[in-house]
Every structure is written in structure tokens, then in C-alpha cells.
Structure 1
């Protein structure tokens, strides 16, 4: 039987982080460092699924302001930045991903953010679309690159898989973005 929980970061202990880290190592295309259950910015809250004590699904959320450049003018937009969304490879194909996504959307609503934001691999855009997310036109994204062991290196790349979820406001309230700037790296 699958049990689900919403866990605040401060409520996680070392064993929890070890279990989350083990899941991320086997299921993410870009796994975090061995001792952490995140890379870049640490999530504020997580959706976690367990079966027989083993973590089998996970998503992290961090509320943050992103700077959106629209017509050359910077705007600050509050988002629930989503990352590290995964289901253990041995547990895929059973509906856990859909349940995880549904619970994630409810969590975002409970966090009172106007939008969810995720930068995802192009291969999973359809998954997010099925949950009500919208793909933005290709946009320049700037963030700090903690993965290269140089936290001062700023990466700027064209991203064709930037997704926004209207949570508390309509999609039409999202600015026409030419560029997104994240304060830290992606969750």
C-alpha cells in the first residue's frame, strides 16, 4: 500500500534525506550529490510516497520570486518552483506519477502561490500538460550552476521546456517572458 505525505524540510532527518537521496540517484537523469536529497536550491516542502518504508515517489517545491524580463523591463513573479519530481523505476506504470502530480498541484494551491514553475526535460512535457501545466514559448533562462562545483558560474540557456501552472490566477496573468532569472539554481 502506498502512503503519501507532505513534509516540510525542517521535519526531515538524516535517514529521510538518505532515503530520498537513494531514490533520486536511481531515478533522476541528473542526480544530486551523494549526501544530499537536492541540488542547487533546497526544497521548502516535499510530496513523498512510500511503500513498505521505501521512498518510491518524490517532488520538491520552493516558493521563490523569479525575475521575468518582459519588453526589456524586469518584473518579480512569485512561483512555486517545482523540481526533483520522480518515481522509482521499479514502481513506474502503476499510476504513481499521476497521483504525485495531482498531489503536487494541490500542494501548490495550499502554498498560495499564483503560479507553479518547472523547467523539465522535453520528454516529459506531455506529463505536465496532462496535469494542467502550460508550455511557455522558448525563453532565455539564467541560473547559478551548482552542479559544476562553481556556485558563481551563471548559466544562460534557451529553454524550450519551461512550464507554468496557473494556481491562483489565470494563465493570462503570466507576463510575456523574454527571459527568466532564478535566484539560485533549479530545484
Structure 2
């Protein structure tokens, strides 16, 4: 039986300290099992890892935060084309709810339409390929492989370059347009830290 999840869409500045604390705990428990390093950015009450979201879609059940997705409008460069997109990040479903079909995209999609962007995208690591393919089987999104995304690091370190380039699986959601309108190119310049 699918759990009862109630959804909340909120601007980042509407969150209280208690919300950040609860979300940080959610991310530690959700990302920690994939590797202790993945939970490190969420120490204390920090509920973001790189760039801060503009909007959040948060699902709650009787036990607290059940699911989360962050949204951030930004310009990216795909090949030679500058494009206003909404980056999707900080995706997560509480581990005890995985496999129940909890999907925030039915809530997120109308929000994306209101934001006035033509595309939303999210980059995921290769290890999540099968999960992403399963989530995209409804046809709302297209999975692009062989794409590199260049980003700045969230912090500057003396022993690391200020940018990184990753091979990711890109999930692209056309919003009120066709996927054929997505520019060609195998390099996306994020011009900022990952969400």
C-alpha cells in the first residue's frame, strides 16, 4: 500500500530553522547510505550541499519528511547556446519509502510551468542510471547520456581547481516545448555550483 504523502511547495526564504534542521536530518539519512561523504554537507542544520534552491517541493508523511526536490532557475550554456532552465537537485525519498512510487514530479511540473522556463534538468551520477530510466519511462523526461557538466565548486580550496567537469546522466524535462528545442552539445556550463 502506498503511503499517504502531503506535499508542500515553498520558497527558500519561507523555511524556518526547524525546517532546515528536519531537512538536514532527512538528507543525512537519505544520502548517508550511499556513502558517508554524501551526508557530510548536511551537518547541523544545513539543508543544501552546493547552490541553495530557490523553491523546494517537500513531501511529508506521519514520520516527517518523506521526499524532497529542490528547484533553481539559472542560465546554463549548452554548446554555444545560453538557456534559462530550472535545475532540479537535492532529489530524495526516505529509504524506508523507496519502491512505493513516491514521485514529486506531478507536483513539480505545474510549478515549472509557472516559473516560465522551457526546460528543467537534473544531472545524476552513473550509479543511478537504472533508477532514472525507470522514473522517466512515463515520457515526461528524456535521459541524455554522454554529457559533461562543468560547475564551480561550492567552496574554494587551495589544493583543488575552482571548477570540476563530470560525466553525468542528464534528465531533461521539456516544459511547454519539444525536446527537439534542446540545444545540441555534449558540454553544459553550469556557471555555478551544483544544486
TM-score range, shorter chain: 0.7 to 0.9
CA displacement at 1:152 relative to structure 2: 6.2
Report the equivalent of 2:112. 108
1:44 aligns with 2:50: no
2:101 matched residue in structure 1: 95
What is the CA-CA distance between 1:94 and the residue it aligns to?
2.4
Q: Tell me, in whole angstroms, the C-alpha distance in 2 between the residues paired with 1:48 and 1:146.
A: 23
Secondary structure of the structure 1 residue equivalent to 2:136: helix
Q: Is the 1:79–1:113 Cα contact (8 Å) retained in structure 2?
A: yes
TM-score by length of 2: 0.84
Structure 1 unaligned runs (5+)?
none
Cα deviation, residue 110, structure 1: 2.1
Task: Report deviation, 1:136.
Answer: 2.0
Shift of 1:148: 7.9
Q: Structure 2, unaligned stretches of length 5 or more?
A: none
Cα displacement (A) at 1:50: 1.0
Compare 100-109 and 162-171 and name the one that shifted more: 100-109
The correspondence for 1:143, drawn from 151, 155, 169, is: 151
Aligned-partner SS, 1:172? helix
Task: Tell me the residue number matched to 2:76.
Answer: 66
Query: In 2, are the aligned partners of 1:112 and 1:168 still within 8 Å (CA)?
Result: no
Residue 132 of structure 2 is aligned to residue 129 of structure 1: no
Alignment RMSD: 2.1
Length, aligned pairs only? 180
- The correspondence for 2:67, drawn from 35, 57, 70, is 57
Give SS of 2:42's match: coil
Distance of 1:60 and 1:18 partners within structure 2:
16
Conserved 8 A contact 1:39-1:147: no
